Amino acid sequence: MKKLLISGIALFAAIFGIQAQDTIPLTFEEAVRIGVNQNLNFQILNNQQEVLRAEKLNAKLSHLPRVVMGSNGGRNIGQQFQQVEGELIVSNEIQDYVTGNIDVSMPIFNGTRRINQTLASKHFEEAGKNEIQRAKEEVMFNVAQQYLQVLLDEQLYNIALENLENQKKQLEQIDGFVDAGLRTLADLYNQQSEVARLETVALDARIQWETDLWTLAETLQLDNNTLPQPVSVDIEDFRSELLALTYPELYDLAFVNRKDLLQQQSLEEGNRKMLAVSRSMLYPQLNAFFNYSTFSTSFDQRPFREQFFTIYPQRSFGLRLNIPVFTNFDNRTEVTRSKVELRNQNLRKQALERQIAQEVKLGYENFRVAVRREEATQVQLKAAVEAQKAISERFRLGVSNFVDLAQANQQLVTAQSDYAQAQYTLYFQEIIMQYALGILEVDSL
């Protein structure tokens, strides 16, 4: 009885402790939304995407002329050189001056560098978008896994409680049988021991439920002392259309939809364009230029406006040709670096393709096994229910002993737990398949 009292107190403390927390009812869609918004990696990728968008815009604008304006103002003190009537006069003077200039330059030919730079930035931005989408799917996958685990823990806890209550009622019946002389004290003590054990099992189930709740709360980054309260999902009539597809069809579907593979493909194309950019530095470059400059000086007594805008303005324009003759192999080193990066990117893409094939194959086989396991545990549960009813009746009539009854009760609880786990495993296997295929969406669950 002392053991029963201690177990009851511990169970009450665990229940009271979790109920003392603030709880927030959350649907799966709400949990995913919160998880995505609070995920650190997802936020970092969104910030990095701003840089990729800026680089893409910069590459587009590089096709336009570059305009730079400048102005200087200052004072020279000391020897000043002045040309007066064909003579050069040197004197100590103080000169105040103001200058202004506008420089305009535009590349005419640079070995298709601008075009390839623009295309590369477009591919890199597209790769960033796909990386963000895959990161979102990963968050959804992790939240779904923890969300369903909490629901499963809750159901296993309820099964443990139900079994505990049934065994308490059984204990009352055996106590009555003992008083009537139909059962021995050994059966009563065995049942008391079984009830105490089941109280511990219920306590362990409750602790596991609470632990997984805190794990989900941490993933969702909820406030301190706040726990989510997941809303149950419909797993009773679950059916999946993916099982109707063959493995080659599933692989083709993954090859088209996997965002991380699309990311690697975009990165490969971007690096191929960057290789073309580095090669363009080996060719001559032709640029057009225009320069406008003017100044005003205190040596000239005419008004500033007349000097700056009428007398001293100069304009120059033309073409500038740059031919790389010897650049210490800087350009060739850059070409080699781009080649290696392209080869490495191709290796990463091939490795991911093999990984996708394995994930799809494994997910497909596990999905089929999960279906068979759900069907088998359903039969197991029906048989365990009938067996427990029959043995309970035989025990009541005094035909069966306590060992048979305890074994039947244990098989029933095991069948209930196995069936619940099989149902949630099958439901989660659908999520695994969608994640492996790259088609995981909140609306699809």
So what's the pLDDT on residue 337?
Answer: 96
User: DSSP assignment of 117-166, as one string?
Assistant: HHHHHHHHHHHHHHHHHHHHHHHHHHHHHHHHHHHHHHHHHHHHHHHHHH
Rounded to a whole number, what is the distance in angstroms from the first to the last CA of the chain? 48
Q: What residues contact 196, with CB distance under 8 A and at least 6 apart?
A: 3, 4, 7
So what's the pLDDT on residue 88?
Answer: 62
So what's the pLDDT on residue 444?
Answer: 56
CA dist., res. 95 & res. 297, Å (int): 7
- Model pTM score: 0.82
Q: Smallest Cα–Cα separation from 211: which of 152, 159, 140?
A: 152
The ranges assigned to domains in the chain are: 2-65+112-282+350-444
Alpha-helical segments (H) within 39-112: 40-61
Residue environment code for 309-321, b if the CB has 16+ CB neighbours within 10 A, otherwise e? eeebeeeeeeeee
What tokens appear for 293 in the block? 């400059």
Q: Smallest Cα–Cα separation from 428: which of 383, 366, 337?
A: 366
Tens place of pLDDT for every residue, the chain, 445 residues? 444 444 454 444 444 444 456 788 988 889 989 998 889 999 999 999 999 999 999 999 999 999 999 999 998 887 776 655 556 666 777 888 899 999 999 999 988 899 999 999 999 999 999 999 999 999 999 999 999 999 999 999 999 999 999 889 888 888 888 888 777 888 889 889 989 999 999 999 999 999 999 999 999 988 888 889 999 888 776 677 888 889 999 999 999 999 999 999 999 999 999 999 999 999 999 999 999 999 998 878 889 999 899 999 999 999 999 999 988 898 999 999 999 999 999 999 999 999 999 999 999 999 999 999 999 999 999 999 999 899 888 887 877 788 888 888 889 999 999 999 999 999 999 999 999 999 998 665 5
Query: Token match 């048989």: residue?
Result: 383
* CATH 2.40.40.20, applies to 2-65+112-282+350-444: no
What tokens appear for 217 in the block? 């709360």
